[in-house]
Structure 1
Amino acid sequence: MSAQPPPRVKPAAAADAEARSRADAVRDAERRWWRRAVEILWRPRPVFAALADDDEDDVVARQEPVLAIILLAGIGGILLTPAWGTMLDDWTVDWLVLAVVTFVGGLFYGAFGYLLIGLAIWLGARGVGVTGPARQARHVLAFSAVPLAVSPGVTVPAALIVYGADFFRSGGADEGAGRVVIVGLGLVFVAWTFVLLVLGLRTTYRLPWRGVVGTLALAGVLVAAFAVLPTLL
């Protein structure tokens, strides 16, 4: 008795099965990257080591965590600028408007910093011999910025508890040293971000310390040049 041949799978069904399998793999990877976005605060080395993987599905899985990080990091950054200390001086600005402006401003600040500083870091890394793609440099920057992204959860409650609405107005209880204390607290998160960026360059790119210093020095020069260029045009 002859063996029956295996049932023939239609090409369309095979393609659908492969697409479902890939989608499941991407969803699993997305969950891992959301966990890593939190774990980087206390276990940064494994996260930066994982960024060295340039598999396309893995890269796609990072997109949503990266977007959330750059938005929140942008909000954390603009809250430390002097302009946000006078927002409520305008009588047309209430708390709802302040929240919307902060969200939109954070989106633009985060995206601009992500693209500009990410480009500078990539060019700086290339200057010391790294051949990785620009996307990888941007992702190292994004995950390094997690401390800055979580900083509003500390600085804003602290400012509101101690100074209330005065933190967003000129004069008042936060005038002088009061605002400096809150901004100084925020700068601790900026410093933490910088430390993670150093560790990320060293781990993801496997750079020696001189390579990390060279990358950051070149990136700093490029960012300064980008900042000065509009005034020269």
Structure 2
Amino acid sequence: MTSTPSQSARKRKKAVVVDLGSDSDGDIVVVGEKRPPTQPCEPTWDAWDPEDNPVTFYSQYEHPKFHVRNLERRINKEREWSKPLPEVNHLFFTNTAPRTVEDLAINPRTVGKLKSLLSIKNDGNNSKLLLITGPSGAGKSTAIDVVAHSLSFEVLKWERDSELEGSEMDSFLRFLRRTTLPEKSRRHRLRTSAKRRLYHIEELPLLAYKSVRMIFDLRLNNL
């Protein structure tokens, strides 16, 4: 009857032989080969793998998984990933933006009211400031731009920049100074004199301080 080694004996680690010779000065000398360090597994590339080389894999007409449509899908997927990013003017939301008043997805009565308010000429008795409020994404900015262009306004727009260096109020005042000061070029004045100007301010800067409010009111009166 032969005895088989137990499971614990099979899992027992290999003993390390230590030589403590008489000539030793007390140092321990380990006898045996040093195992090489474990190397990280490097990814392999298989020419016949459909993930690595779909053209070679799906081009085997005798292969049971070969289908022309599968080859087309894999090649098109690789091409899509290799395409450069689209330009801003080729993006979907840019190409499909409303161009006319009829394209606006807003209540026609609201659009008509906005159009009538912008059509009122400033004779000194009417207010120069029109405040448009509403939830985010309701189309306020788009409606203003489209209606203003339909009334032949020259739209001058200022938007808050989250990455702006310096004061937000300084940026706003530079915008007003740049757009309200008279142009030196006579050709530019002749080109823009026939159009009324609309200053489209996306979001007002902080006006809590009295000095800032005075500057804002002064610039607003010069419009």
TM-score for the superposition, normalised by structure 1 = 0.24
More RCO (CA 8 Å, sep 6+): 1
Which of the two has greater strand per residue? Answer: 2
